[in-house]
Amino acid sequence: MVASQIFGDITLIQILIIIFALFAWSRAMLRLKDKNISLGEFLFWSVLWIAVILIALFPTLIGDLSQIVGVGRAVDMVVYVSIIVLFYLVFRLYVFVDSKNREITTLVRELAIRDAKHKDVKESKDRKEIKDGNVSMIHKTVKTAGRKK
């Protein structure tokens, strides 16, 4: 067929991978249209799926690429790249979690300030002295005079 004239021997798995990648890419295009993902994100996924298609079409590509880059085995390069990508993703996650943490604190603090309460309290004259390490109880008469915000 025409395919084998252009691409040489092509296997079924390669065809399946290409079909799947095209499908995934079309999903990404739809999401972009619906504005569910940003242009930047779409470009990222496009690059990814195009890379998958290229590798599926020309499997020797990875081997050649890793030779160029200076890595022995193709698998090694994939591992190195994956680790770098993971580091970056973890960094992004850390920043995200940290920002959520700050937002929680902001909420808790605002709630605390809005719900502040105060009682007017009159103290009587007797108090016990504090002994080392012990905290004494205090006798007092408590008159509540309503809440002040």
Partner 1 sequence: MKIFIVIAAYNEGKSISKVISDLKHAGYDNIIVVDDGSKDDTYNFALNSGAVALRHIVNRGQGAALKTGMDYALRNGADMIIHFDADGQHRVEDLKAMIAPVKSGKYDISVGSRFLKPVKMPFFRRLTLKIAILVVRIFYGAKMTDAHNGFRVMNRKAAETIDITSDRMEHASQIVEEIHRKNLRFIEVPVTILYTDYSLQHGHGGLGQAFKVFIKMIFRRILD
Residues that bind partner 1 (CB under 8 A): 101-102, 104-105, 108-109, 111-113, 115-121, 123, 127, 130, 132-138, 140, 142, 148
Name every residue whose Cβ is closer than 8 Å to that of residue 46 and which is 6 or more positions away in sequence. Answer: 25, 28
Closer to partner 1 by Cβ: residue 34 or 115: 115
d(CA 48, CA 42): 10
DSSP structure class, residue 82: H
In whole angstroms, the minimum distance from the beta carbon of 40 to partner 1 comes to 23
Dihedral-angle region of residue 8 (phi above 0 means left; psi in -120 to 50 means alpha; beta otherwise): left
Shortest reach from residue 86's CB to partner 1, in Å: 21
Cβ proximity to partner 1: between 92 and 119 the closer is 119
CB nearer to partner 1: give 67 or 105: 105
Q: In the bound complex, what is the minimum distance in angstroms from residue 148's beta carbon to partner 1? A: 8
Q: Sign of the CA dihedral 138, 144, 148, 149?
A: positive
Q: Which is nearer to partner 1, 60 or 134 (CB)?
A: 134
Smallest separation, CB 49 to partner 1 (Å) = 35
Q: Which is nearer to partner 1, 35 or 143 (CB)?
A: 143
Instruction: Please list, in sequence order, all residues whose beta carbon lies within 8 angstroms of the beta carbon of residue 29, skipping any fewer than 6 positions away.
Output: 42
Give the whole-angstrom CA distance, residue 36 versus residue 101: 26
| Least distance from partner 1 to the Cβ atom of residue 91, Å | 12
